[in-house]
Structure 1
Amino acid sequence: MNALDHLWARGCDFLGTKTAIMGGAMSWVSERHLVSAISNAGGFGVIACGSMNPALLDAEISATKALTGKPFGVNLITMHPQLLELIEVCIRHEIGHVVLAGGVPSGAAVRAVRDSGAKLVCFAPALVLAKRLIKSGADALVIEGSEAGGHIGPVSLTVLAQEILPVIREVPVFVAGGIGRGEAILAFLEMGASGVQLGTRFAAATESIAHEKFKAAFVRANARDAVPSVQLDALFPVIPVRGLANEGTRNFLAHQAATLKRFQSGELTKEAAQLSIEHFWAGALRRAVIDGDVEQGSVMAGQSVGMVTAIQPVAAIIAELIGQAEAAHAARQAQVPRTDARSHAA
């Protein structure tokens, strides 16, 4: 057994996989092709249900099963109006792991997952919430730092890991946000993580259905290009989303400014103004991922995008990450501690 096998044994046992590498649930990207590729390569693919209705999720799960016999999970958004029906779809398909994201899950949702025998995975953006989720029935946690792509919280993974990993031992904890190399995976495992979750590197994989222009934007980008959306005025809250800066992000600022003026002049009510701001990005992720509009669309990406240097098969990405982690561990083991010659003097 090598170092990684030992360090992520708990995560592998929980997921039922060879490696404790989860795929991040990315809308329009984490579908049957990428999910099955991650699972077939020894990782744990996760379907991003997003706004799918039960019939669409049912079809996506069936299609994924046709491509892999390995374990995979389903990510459901807690605010989805048909959440309990979506959970029923997962139960009918005997999905072994259900991830509830986007908020604190209701008691009814937790009971529905646990009563089915499936494992419940929840996101914990703070230690106090991590403890609460475990008490409510979470079987594992994901802590995701602000380095991640898509909707983000305010705290970096380096801080969350220090706050949560030394304290939470009852359930496996997977870390996410900004992870792009094996050395980082090794470091977090040594801190106490049971595994990791990656999204950005997999989004640009060969098996990803994302448009070639979307993938090319990832390859060109640097870490500093992945920025959170900016809120212009506290009166109109904006949930931060990290993505590549483009014409769309600049237009969003202009749209907020224009909407604020319309509100101040009495042309719009506060509710109408907020709705106008929230609707600006409607369909923008699909335009970027599926249609390849990387200028006006929302090119969601984490800061690890700077480590995406080529479009690679999923299996190659996972092998590269493992190779880097194992090499880093071997290098540490090879280091011989210096001794003070004076301590050996007779």
Structure 2
Amino acid sequence: MSMTDTDQARQQARQKARATLERLWAPGCAFLGTPTAILGGAMSWVSERNLVSAISNAGGFGVIACGAMNPDRLAEEIAATQALTDKPFGVNLITMHPELDKLVDVCVEARVGHVVLAGGVPSGATIKQVRDGGARAIGFAPALALGKRLVKQGIEALVIEGSEAGGHVGPVSLNVLAQEILPHIHDVPVFVAGGLARGDAVLGYLEQGASGAQLGTLFAASSESIAHEAFKKAFVRASARDAITSNQIDERFPVIPVRGLNNGGTRRFMAHQAATLTRFTSGELSKEEAQLEIEHFWAGALRRAVIEGDVEQGSVMAGQSVGMVKAVRPVAEIMHDLVEQAVDALVAREARCGHLHPTETAIG
């Protein structure tokens, strides 16, 4: 075969693989209105106008992290994002926010196409409010039973996020959640999240029945992220084992697990819990006061890390995929590589399978 024929064969193989990938995530792309079914994880202080618009402009689906914003502040952020992109993007709302109804109204009035309801189980009334306003409602399902319940309540897409993710996490890995949920929910698109940083890994979940994927850590360290350079450099230096979850030392005082890079703040938090427990047992603090003391330890710590660059005492939230962040790169380059890695994996698999004799099996 001539060099030209070889090149042509390679090109055809890649075209075939790309068509396969497009078929696999077609439900996710159709739901999001994007050419690639990759969502940006909503990260407080990080997922704002610049990063969100960059992800959407690169063919993905950016998501604004509303967090503790009030309605006016959210309206301002949505307008600023719309000034930077004409592509689809969403807004992540915390269901426990005291002004949740008003925040939904802000999204509807601004014609935001998708609202992600996170940080708790959304009520049927909130889901209805989103949908009646013309937006699509997305929810998180940490278990199959809850996923089925949300779909019955009107949720139009689900995100299943494994414990490998950064920030607040549940106890179950994505690998297990995918096996539990993907074979049984087919009525709505399901997006996988947690520990993902390569397109070939995303492909594996697409083949299990996922419609797309959500990534956060990789984008937090991108060029367009407004995170402090010290924050991004901490990501580049870190290995997967550096991203640990916060621990509680007494079951009477529960601590919501948060995954972030192990640093001085992490160690001080353990000492703070021990000191607070001593003050409680001595009668200096009531149980309620002790719980508040523990919960308030991290107040402002994420902002200190992301915005001010205090990566030693601040909260450097990161998923275990941080070990695969090797450099600060533009979002468009990250998105391109994710797609190409998935295509490469499909081409390689076709080559392997094509070398098997019809009577052979992959084992024999």
Do both proteins adopt the same fold according to a TM-score greater than 0.5, normalized to the shorter chain? Answer: yes
8 Å CA contact retained: 2:193, 2:213:
yes
Per-residue deviation, 1:110: 1.2
Aligned to 2:134, the other structure's residue is in SS state coil
What is the distance in 1 between the residues matched to 2:92 and 2:232? 23
Alignment CA distance shift 1:267-1:114 (3 Å): same
Counterpart for residue 7 of structure 2: none
Q: 1:338 aligns with which of 341, 349, 356?
A: 356
Counterpart for residue 12 of structure 2: none
Counterpart for residue 299 of structure 1: 316
Q: Indicate the percent of aligned positions where both proteins have the same amino acid.
A: 71
Alignment CA distance shift 1:341-1:56 (3 Å): closer
Gaps of 5+ in 2: 1-17
Stretch deviating more after TM superposition (261-270 or 101-110):
101-110
Q: 1:47 aligns with which of 48, 59, 64?
A: 64
1:264 is aligned to 2:281: yes
Counterpart for residue 213 of structure 2: 196
Counterpart for residue 11 of structure 2: none
Per-residue deviation, 1:2: 1.5
What is the distance in 1 between the residues matched to 2:86 and 2:360? 62
1:325 is aligned to 2:326: no
Aligned to 2:260, the other structure's residue is in SS state strand
1:249-302 superposed Cα distances (whole Å, 9 cap, x missing partner): 000000000000000000000000000000000000000000000000000000
1:51-70 equivalence runs, <5 A: 51-70=68-87
Per-residue deviation, 1:107: 2.4
1:109-258 equivalence runs, <5 A: 109-258=126-275
Aligned to 2:297, the other structure's residue is in SS state coil
Aligned to 2:83, the other structure's residue is in SS state helix
Per-residue deviation, 1:337: 5.0
TM normalised by structure 2 equals 0.93
Counterpart for residue 283 of structure 1: 300
What is the distance in 2 between the residues matched to 1:342 and 1:322? 31
What is the distance in 1 between the residues matched to 2:216 and 2:74? 20
What is the distance in 2 between the residues matched to 1:101 and 1:53? 16
Stretch deviating more after TM superposition (72-81 or 99-108):
99-108
1:305-331 superposed Cα distances (whole Å, 9 cap, x missing partner): 000000000000000111111000000
What is the distance in 2 between the residues matched to 1:110 and 1:10? 21
The amino acid that maps onto 1:253 is M
Q: 2:39 aligns with which of 15, 19, 22?
A: 22
What is the distance in 2 between the residues matched to 1:257 and 1:8? 48
Computed over aligned residues only, the root mean square deviation of the Cα atoms, in angstroms, reads 1.3
1:215-245 superposed Cα distances (whole Å, 9 cap, x missing partner): 0000000000000001111010000000000
1:309 is aligned to 2:287: no
1:2-13 equivalence runs, <5 A: 2-13=19-30
TM normalised by structure 1 equals 0.98
Structure 1 moving runs of 4+ over 2 Å: 336-343
8 Å CA contact retained: 2:94, 2:119:
yes
8 Å CA contact retained: 2:191, 2:211:
yes
What is the distance in 1 between the residues matched to 2:326 and 2:360? 49
1:75-94 equivalence runs, <5 A: 75-94=92-111
1:155-192 superposed Cα distances (whole Å, 9 cap, x missing partner): 00000000000100000000000001111011010010
8 Å CA contact retained: 2:167, 2:260:
yes
Aligned residues: 343
8 Å CA contact retained: 2:124, 2:154:
no
The amino acid that maps onto 2:44 is S
What is the distance in 2 between the residues matched to 1:198 and 1:340? 39
What is the distance in 2 between the residues matched to 1:280 and 1:161? 34
What is the distance in 1 between the residues matched to 2:355 and 2:162? 34
